Chains A and B, each alone.
Chain A
Amino acid sequence: MTALLSRDIRLSFRAGGGAMLALAFFASVAALVPLGIGPDLKLLARIAGGVLWIAASLAALLSLDRLFQADFEDGSLDLIALAPQSLEATAFAKIAAHWLTTGLPLTVLSPLLGLLFGLPPQAYPALMLSLLVGTPAISAIGAVGASLTLSIRRGGLILPLIVLPLLSPAVIFGAGAVLAVLDGLSNGALGLLAAFSLVAVVLAPFACAAGVRLNLAG
Chain B
Amino acid sequence: MNTALASLDVGDLACVRGSRLLFRNLYFKVEPGRALLIEGPNGAGKTSLLRLIAGFLAPAAGTIALHAGGNAVTEAEERGKHIGWFGHQDGLKPQLTAKENLSFFARLYGGNPAYVMPMLDWAGLLRAADFPVQYLSAGQKKRLALARLKLSNRSAWLLDEPFAALDAAGKKLVEQMLAEHCATGGIAVVATHEAISLEASKMTLGGNA
Binding site for B on A (CB under 8 A): 2-4, 7, 10-11, 14-17, 73-76, 78-85, 216-217
CB neighbours of A10 from chain B (8 A): 96, 100
Q: Scan B24-60; emit 1 where CB is below 8 A from any A CB, else 0.
A: 0000000000000000000000000000001011100
B84 to A, closest residue via Cβ: A82
Interface size range of chain B in the complex: 20 to 34
Select one of B81, B85, B108 contacting A78, CB under 8 A. B85
Q: How far is the CA of A40 from the CA of B100 in the complex (A)?
A: 52
B108 engages A83 (CB within 8 Å): yes
| A16 to B: closest C-beta gap in Å | 7
The A-contacting residues of B in range 163-189, CB under 8 angstroms, are none
Q: Scan B84-116; emit 1 where CB is below 8 A from any A CB, else 0.
A: 010111111111100010001101111000000
CB neighbours of B109 from chain A (8 A): 83-84
A84 engages B110 (CB within 8 Å): yes
Among B57, B108, B109, the one with the most A-chain Cβ atoms within 10 Å of its Cβ is B108
**B62 at the A/B interface (Cβ < 8 Å)?**
no
A75 engages B87 (CB within 8 Å): yes
10 CB contacts below 8 A, A to B, read A7-B100, A11-B96, A73-B89, A74-B91, A76-B91, A76-B92, A78-B56, A78-B87, A78-B89, A82-B81
| A113 to B: closest C-beta gap in Å | 29
B56 engages A80 (CB within 8 Å): no
Q: How far is the CA of A85 from the CA of B96 in the complex (A)?
A: 22
| B207 to A: closest C-beta gap in Å | 26
Q: How far is the CA of A78 from the CA of B108 in the complex (A)?
A: 13
CB neighbours of A11 from chain B (8 A): 93, 95-96
Q: How far is the CA of A3 from the CA of B91 in the complex (A)?
A: 16
Given contacts A7-B93, A81-B80, A84-B109, 17 further A-B contacts (CB under 8 A): A2-B107, A3-B107, A11-B96, A74-B93, A75-B88, A76-B92, A78-B56, A78-B85, A78-B87, A78-B89, A79-B105, A79-B108, A82-B83, A82-B85, A84-B81, A84-B110, A217-B56
